[in-house]
Amino acid sequence: MGAFIVLEGGEGCGKSTQARILYQHLLKENHATLLLHEPGGTPLGEQVRHLLMAHQDKREDAMSPLAELLLFSAARAELLAIVLRPILKEGGVVVCDRYTPSTVAYQGYGRGLSLETIAQVNRLATGGLEPDVVLLLDLPPEDGLRRKDEKERQRFEHEPLAFHRKVRQGYLEQAKTDPKRWLVLDGTLPVERIADTIWHRVEPLLRLRP
């Protein structure tokens, strides 16, 4: 079995940048690795991504939180079946930009859906597959949103500040309940320093692989 590494965080936290840096580092160390992002990674996932990440500013176009949850979960189920599980079975290292913790933080804490319902849907979509480590880039939402160009903002970036504060709370609550799996990183630190800390956490995990 390979290694499954997930990067998480709110808008503008820098997780996608760190995912790419980690991916490049793994390649340099000659690990068979794959960089994925959610939703996406499959034809269905990319279609769902386009639908979900588009900013809907008309009331009649608004999507219900439950529909949002199920669309994300459908894309995830497809990604696991077609891409993620086969790579892990072959012993590869998967770096994934978002996974089930995003669903808990955004649709649970942010949208207010039942955490029990989300847990059930997540188990159904993933078959219970958990990451080996979750790297959370924690950043005050005010700082993260300032990093985003107003013209390039997508669906969630148009939500009010109160929503993003709930999302951050959701992430920190999850990290608190599973400290062995989660590593909380200060998203205000320099990119290089964060990357070094991530590698220090990931490298021992790779040594444990068969």
DSSP code, position 33: E
> In this predicted model, what pLDDT tens digit does every residue of 5-26 receive, in sequence order?
999 999 989 999 999 999 999 9
pLDDT of residue 150: 62
Q: Is residue 207's pLDDT more than 60?
A: yes
Over residues 36-54, mean pLDDT: 90
Over residues 49-72, mean pLDDT: 77
User: In the chain, pLDDT over 90 holds for what percent of residues?
Assistant: 80
Give residues with Cβ within 8 angstroms of 74, minimum separation 6. Answer: 44, 48, 125
> In this predicted model, what pLDDT tens digit does every residue of 90-127 receive, in sequence order?
999 999 999 999 999 999 999 999 999 999 999 999 99
pLDDT of residue 59: 47
pTM: 0.92
Domains plus CATH for the chain? 3-207 (3.40.50.300)
> In this predicted model, what pLDDT tens digit does every residue of 147-193 receive, in sequence order?
866 655 667 877 899 999 999 999 999 999 999 999 999 999 999 99
Tell me whether the omega of the peptide bond preceding residue 86 falls within 30 degrees of 0, making it cis. no
CA dihedral angle for residue 84, residue 182, residue 135, residue 86, rounded to 10 degrees: -10
> In this predicted model, what pLDDT tens digit does every residue of 84-98 receive, in sequence order?
999 999 999 999 999
**When comparing pLDDT for 194 and 144, which is higher?**
194
Over residues 139-144, mean pLDDT: 91
Given a contact cutoff of 8 angstroms between Cβ atoms, the answer to whether 33 and 93 are in contact is yes
